[in-house]
Amino acid sequence: MNEGSSRRGAQKRATAADVARRAGVSRQTVTRAINDMDGINAVTKERVLQAAKELKYRPSRFGRGLVLGHRPTLGFVIDDFANPFYSALAASVIATAAPIVAVVPAEAEPSAADAASVF
């Protein structure tokens, strides 16, 4: 396997560290430039944005949420946990999502007030 490629032969996605190396700056400077934050010289910002464009860099949604203070949210409603299909499906979703979202189980039987507040 070639360095920088995946099993499918596609190129590795550029990271903020890759952009920082190309632009000759720190990762924090890349974050400031990409997120249009204060504390970065206009010339440096342009150099970072140019490097990002050349590398086809796209910030990860998760990382962007951390910078902006947002948490990813995933809603999953199952009517019948007694059905083995749905319980296995829920377990898989939770196992896959747990590293990136907060998993907060709901009550088995929400009150009428709770159910009404969803809508």
- pLDDT tens readout for residues 35-83: 888 889 999 999 999 999 999 998 876 666 666 666 666 777 777 778 8
Q: How many C-beta atoms surround the C-beta of residue 25 within 10 A?
A: 19
- Asked if residue 82 is part of any domain, the answer here is yes
Largest pairwise CA distance in the chain:
61
64 and 20 within one domain: yes
Flag whether the pTM goes above 0.75. no
- Mind listing the pLDDT tens digit for each residue in 1-48? 444 444 455 678 889 999 999 999 999 999 899 888 888 999 999 999
Burial of residue 16, with CB atoms counted within 10 A of its CB: 0-12 exposed, 13-18 middle, 19 or more buried = buried
83 and 97 part of one domain = yes
pLDDT at 95 over 90: no
Residue 32 near residue 39 (C-beta atoms within 8 A): yes
How many domains are contained in the chain? 2
Measured at the CA of 35, the angle between CA 75 and CA 24, to 5 degrees, comes to: 130
pLDDT at 71: 62
What pLDDT is recorded for position 22? Answer: 96
Contact predicate 73/101, CB 8 Å: yes
* Residue 5 lies inside a defined structural domain of this protein: no
Does residue 106 surpass a pLDDT of 90?
no
Q: What pLDDT was estimated at residue 1?
A: 42
Return the pLDDT at 119: 39
C-alpha of 31 from chain center: 15
Chain mean position to CA 25: 23
Q: What is the pLDDT of residue 12?
A: 83
Residue numbers of the domain that contains 94: 73-111
Element holding 49 (H helix, E strand): helix 42-55
